[in-house]
Amino acid sequence: MVYKEETLDPENWDKFSDLGHQMLEDMIQHLKTVRDQTITLPDEKIITEIYAPLTEEGEGEEKVYQIFKQSILPHLSAVIKPTFWGFVVGTGSPYGMLADMLASGSNCPDEDWLASTYCHRQVINWIKELLDYPKEAGGVLVYGGTEANFTGLAVARNKKAEIDMKTKGMQSVPRKMTLYVSEEGHHCLERSIELIGLGNESLRWIPTDDMYRIRVDKLREAIKKDREEGCYPFCIIGCAGTVNSGAFDDFNSLAKLASKEGMWFHVDAAFGGWVKLSNTHRHLANGMEKADSLAIDLHKWMYMPYGIGCTLIRDRVAHFSTFVYGHEAEYLKSGFDTFKDMLDWPDMLSLPLSRYFVSLKAYMLLRAYGKGKYCRLIQQNLDQISYLEKLVKAEECLEITAPVTSNILCFRYNPSGFDESQLEELNKAIRGELWKVHFGVVSDTTVKGRYTLRACCTNHRTKYEDFDWLVNTVMKKGLELTKQL
Ligand SMILES: Cc1ncc(COP(=O)(O)O)c(C=O)c1O
């Protein structure tokens, strides 16, 4: 009997090459024409098509690609549109897309000791340099801001614990460990704290001032009260760019307080940390470099394709000690047993063992475009939000609802004579109208108890005229909907 060996490599490489070129050409066209693309949510018909039964023989590469093109691509996220300012999203970039293809093609499972090591190391060096973080510090690339915060907080917990956390675990802590963040902090922090076993009630949400910054007097009081009640306050979390309104805490004061109290100082700089690259707003991040750990995304305000984030940590040994994998895993030791080398092995510094070659896109993009391009783009987004602020201020029926600190503008349609619940109903309806253009043009939130629309600009495709369109549309829809109320 002749045994036919199987492989996933193509039988006909020329035919495969044609398909690959077609896919590439289609995606380039998609990005080239993104402004005019219609991107809608999937309807019942599309969902049924996606829920196809798994066939025995497979449907073939070409057919499945056609399904992607017709049924999936037109119903993916609109974040790549120039008029997407909802939430905090990343727009990706064409060169980033190509770099990701190279990473998948080379299928390198780690960034430890091959050329990929040096790419990872250099990207961490560049990030430290861009953020003025100490040269001697270490860091690791992860897959987003949530994981970056998780990584920093896990190290904080292990380093500050009053027991050997790695061996004894949370069951053995003598006192309840508590952490502090402003009431504007991101809820991914809560998730991390739950996952590292602290329980979300250990996170104290501290009131903010009228610039939405943590109130240091209230923070001091909370720490004092917890100590008096037998708790162990061990970590202060600063916010560099809050998700609601883009506010920045006073990091110098937080660093000073953390040092006086013997606490860890962590900063969630997921998107806002990049104000460091601007001329006009870099001062907002003053003192951020004093953090013991710092979490930042590259897939939001550095416009890299999802998912890439980074944790920087001053104490490299504490970082390594938290994640170092399997002292007993003999099969991992062959040939690489020097502690010094392992100190910047990403798989000893974060959760996964096998890793995607995530540093490649950052390496190629930063090297291709240089610091100057990113500085100009960040500045452009900040200037665009100032422009939007002027447009909003010029309209009597529009109201700015939170202080404009960085790249987020909270605003709403507010003709006189409407109470809070009517304003909420009206502005929700305006947001609904905008989402008929595409999902996420703006998003909404509640700031200090008031419902508001919210535009966050981390978009390298936005033009000033897009904000003219936004204001005109909100005014037009606001007027129409007011008549119906
Ligand atoms: C301030 C802040 N921190 C953390 C996160 C979570 O980051 P990611 O979505 O990359 O996990 C976000 C997301 O918007 C954020 O705005």
The CATH number of the domain holding residue 469 is 3.90.1150.170
Question: Which residues form ligand 1's pocket by a CB distance below 6 Å?
Answer: 88, 144-146, 186, 188, 241, 243, 268, 270-271, 297, 309
What does the block give as tokens for 203?
Answer: 């996170």
Residues 117 and 52 in one domain: no
For 410, counting Cβ atoms within 10 Å of its Cβ (0-12 exposed, 13-18 middle, 19+ buried), the class is buried
Residues 376 and 357 in one domain: no
In a domain, 91, yes or no: no
Distance 88 CA to ligand 1 centre (A): 7
Distance 283 CA to ligand 1 centre (A): 22
Q: Is the dihedral of CA 190, 192, 193, 197 positive or negative?
A: positive
CA angle 286, 289, 291 (to 5 degrees): 115
Domain final residue, candidates 367, 385, 414: 367
Give the residue, out of 87, 186, 293, with the most ligand 1 atoms within 8 A of its beta carbon, to mutate for a pocket test. Answer: 186
User: What is the pLDDT tens value at each position of the chain, 485 positions in all?
Assistant: 678 899 999 999 999 999 999 999 999 999 999 999 888 999 999 999 999 999 999 999 999 999 999 999 999 989 999 999 999 999 999 999 999 999 999 999 888 778 998 999 999 999 999 999 999 999 999 999 999 999 999 999 999 999 999 999 999 999 999 999 999 999 999 999 999 999 999 999 999 999 999 999 999 999 999 999 999 999 999 999 999 999 999 999 999 999 999 999 999 999 999 999 999 999 999 999 999 999 999 999 999 999 999 999 999 999 999 998 765 555 555 555 555 667 888 988 999 999 999 999 999 999 999 999 999 999 999 999 999 999 999 999 999 999 999 999 999 999 989 999 999 999 999 999 999 999 999 999 999 999 999 999 999 999 999 999 999 999 999 999 998 87
Supply the pTM of this predicted model.
0.96
Going by alpha carbons, the residue nearest to atom 3 of ligand 1 is 270
Going by alpha carbons, the residue nearest to atom 8 of ligand 1 is 145
pLDDT per position as a tens digit, 256-304: 999 999 999 999 999 999 999 999 999 999 999 999 999 999 999 999 9
Residues 301 and 203 in one domain: yes
Going by alpha carbons, the residue nearest to atom 14 of ligand 1 is 88
Is the distance from CB of 410 to CB of 453 less than 8 angstroms?
A: yes
Looking from the CA of residue 241, the nearest atom of ligand 1 is 1
pLDDT for res 333: 56
Distance 186 CA to ligand 1 centre (A): 7
Distance 178 CA to ligand 1 centre (A): 22
Residue 236 to residue 256: CA distance in whole angstroms: 11
pLDDT for res 269: 98
Residues 222 and 254 in one domain: yes
CATH number of the domain at 285, please.
3.40.640.10
The DSSP code sequence of 301-317 is TT-PPS--EEEEES-HH
Residues 109 and 66 in one domain: no
Q: How many structural domains comprise the chain? A: 3
Residue 45 structural domain: 1-76
Residues 108 and 46 in one domain: no
Is the distance from CB of 65 to CB of 58 less than 8 angstroms?
A: no
Going by alpha carbons, the residue nearest to atom 9 of ligand 1 is 145
Give the residue, out of 243, 275, 294, with the most ligand 1 atoms within 8 A of its beta carbon, to mutate for a pocket test. Answer: 243
Distance 272 CA to ligand 1 centre (A): 10
Residues 228 and 343 in one domain: yes
